[in-house]
Chain A
Amino acid sequence: MTAVLEVRDLKVRFSTPDGEVSAVNGVSFDINEGECLGIVGESGSGKSQLFMAVMGLLARNGRTEGSAKYRGTELVGMPVKELNTYRGSKLAMIFQDSMTSLTPHLRIGKQMTEVLIQHKGMSEADARGKALDILELVRIPEAARRLNQYPHELSGGMRQRVMIAMSLLCEPDLLIADEPTTALDVTVQAQILELMADLKRVTRAAIVLITHELGTVAGLCDRVQVMYGGRFMETGDVRQIFYNPQHPYTNGLLSSMPRLTEDRREKLYAIPGQPPNLQRLPAGCPFQERCDFVHERCVAELPLLRPVTNAAGTGQMKACHLESLQHPVDDPSRASIPADAAPPVIRTSDARTA
């Protein structure tokens, strides 16, 4: 398998008046052709900034160290002019808040055609035709009319579809979706996820799904990387992570998901404490302050990613000093997950948008 993106020891730092903030602290991973990778973490875990750094979209006070290669070409430190030949054409990004992420004073058509004119040198008319095709691909009703509308004239779900359509215009190899469903209603979320699942089948693009919702990941991704304090805590394929989480943090995340089968009088589990202060990360494991299994070694020594010993299959890694994490076998909530895949949060059928 060829890697579309190879990231090695990537670090992201922000200099602020209160000191240096270490958002991403040396992560390494590959994304292979056609694969769907889920990046999971709480707010402030560095999951978004990691990919902002790859795309060269960090805020002015941010800087990137390490390496991120797109098919062998180094993106970190690439001059903006050159980077612009990759952004939007080879690598595309879908942002969270479609209301503020689309230019309010430009018609949808213009915002889409400019990408094709820039990267493909198309004429305005050809670009419009292509934009229309893509809008239809993402199942926007009355696509031709939408081209002449402004973002505020569309519903939230439709705007997000436009956002997705815009990223697909140049048929990118790598599609980075940064919390694509967070700002949407639950029903619309489900529609957008369904669309993403379709796109995964139709396009050959590798997809990165950045999210804090494990349900989203379960339905869509092949592989999951759990991030905390700017580091990967656990990585593995989606079943390994969901059925056999070997990092206490992953386990905590899974336990804090509400389940329909669970007794409703029972209090929902929450990981105690707050995410770490990225200005003063502790010496050892970033999760030490919130971990139930913390011992001396966790405080003294930073755990590095290593293969999980009791994994089902290969490829599961965790950054934890614990030898293995035992799960109560008779835990009814865990046993209730069907064996083929974790269930989607909501399934809709025959939904229409007006």
Chain B
Amino acid sequence: MLSYAVRRLLEAIPTLLVIVALSFFLMHSAPGGPFDSERVLPPEIEANLKAAYNLDKPVWQQFLIYLGNALQGDFGPSFTYKDFTVSELIGTGFPVSIRLGLTAIILAVCIGCTLGVIAAMRQNTSTDYTVMGFSMVGITIPNFVMAPLLTLVFGIYLGWLPVAGWGGGAINHMILPVVALALPQIAIISRLTRGGMVEVLRSNFVRTAHAKGLPERLIIWRHTLRAALLPVVSYLGPAIAGLVTGSVVIEQIFGLPGIGRYFIQGAINRDYTLVMGTVITYGTLIVMMNLLVDLVYGLLDPRVRYD
């Protein structure tokens, strides 16, 4: 398993290189540049600027320079946030996003799995329909509707929680954004769990477990859950990568200093280095999460072989 993990990590290097190269060339082939603005710059200044950022060189040279720097851990200065390097921006924003995202996903897994198991055990009863009904609502309501609603109710009408701001990461500042992030995930995870459970509960080995006279609780925990959670695990890999890299909408609505906003702002401002920085962060996370999913699969199902 260790050699498998090492091999997968080595395989990740070319994957990331392809991702980096593709996004670099695609971004540079898009019209416009970081210094295009409504106010036309004098040609000498623009030339100087471009020279300072190596933008006057052919794209392939720029790519090699960027790659060389990136490999040494230098992701360059941001074009928009002029006093900051990309590493600084991501370095300050990422912990915030990770904290929010991880809290949300842990909450979502706990509640989602519990609801899914309950719904599956009471299959086709009112409990099942209620849970699945709420989960459908959770999936369909977009977070730019849910987040303001939560703010309105708990921040303004009830006045229990702060409306926005990070507050240095205080718990009460985290509650609303975490809930807003977690709700759709709870919905999806509960549906996945229920689906997996319903299928496994029908399987022959669960019938054997009943024939052995084992109590329901033991059958669920020992015989059913592990097999039923496989679809949830596959979903969680990319979902975790998505959540910990922040949500633009949630960060905007609650005014949080995460890195989600950099994805959009970087692209809009043609902030080449910032876009590359976020792409590399996200790409690495996805690759790592997929590896983690495959390893967890092996823990859940002994039939999975690594070779």
Cα(A87)–Cα(B215), bound, Å: 11
B211 close to chain A: CB less than 8 A:
yes
What CA separation (Å) do A46 and B303 show in the bound complex? 34
A 52-101 contacts with B by CB, 8 A: 55-57, 59-60, 80-81, 83-89, 92-93, 95, 97, 100-101
Question: Are A93 and B211 in contact, with the CB atoms below 8 A?
Answer: yes
Does B227 interact with chain A (Cβ within 8 Å)? Answer: yes
The interface stretch among A113-121, A199-207, A219-227 is A113-121
Q: Is B130 an interface residue (CB 8 A)?
A: no
A19 CB to nearest B CB, Å: 18
Contacts of B208 in A (CB 8 A): 93, 95, 101-103
Q: Does B218 contact A (CB under 8 A)?
A: yes
Whether A166 touches B212, Cβ cut-off 8 Å, given contacts A103-B223, A105-B302, is yes
B142-150, B199-207, B261-269 - interface stretch: B199-207
Q: A105-B301, A106-B223 are in contact. Are A100 and B212 (CB under 8 A)?
A: no
For chain B, the bracket of interface size reads 20 to 34
Instruction: Among B204, B205, B211, B223, point to the contact of A88 (Cβ < 8 A).
Output: B211
Residues of A within 8 A of B300 (CB): 105
Question: Mostly helix, strand, loop or mixed at chain B's interface?
Answer: helix
Q: Does A29 contact B (CB under 8 A)?
A: no
Instruction: Give the A-B pair count, Cβ closer than 8 A.
Output: 80
- Find out whether the CB atom of A89 lies under 8 angstroms from the CB atom of B205: no
A150 to B218, CA, bound (A): 19
- B215 x A84 contact (CB < 8 A): yes
Nearest CB of A to B153, in Å: 39
Whether, in the assembled complex, B216 has its beta carbon less than 8 Å from a beta carbon of chain A, the answer is yes
Chain B nearest CB from A96 CB (Å) reads 8
The residue among B207, B216, B300, B303 with the most chain A CB atoms within 10 A of its own CB is: B207
Pairwise interchain contact A57-B212, C-beta atoms closer than 8 A: no
Most chain A CB within a 10 A radius of its CB, from B202, B205, B301:
B205
User: Is B209 in contact with A57, judged by CB distance below 8 angstroms?
Assistant: no
The answer to whether B213 and A84 touch across the interface, beta carbons within 8 angstroms, is yes
Cα–Cα, bound, A106→B202 (Å): 18
Q: Once bound together, how far apart are the Cα atoms of A93 and B218, in whole Å?
A: 19
Query: Is residue B99 within 8 Å, beta carbon to beta carbon, of the partner chain?
Result: no
List residues of chain B with CB under 8 Å of any chain A CB.
123-124, 202-205, 207-216, 218, 222-223, 226-227, 300-303
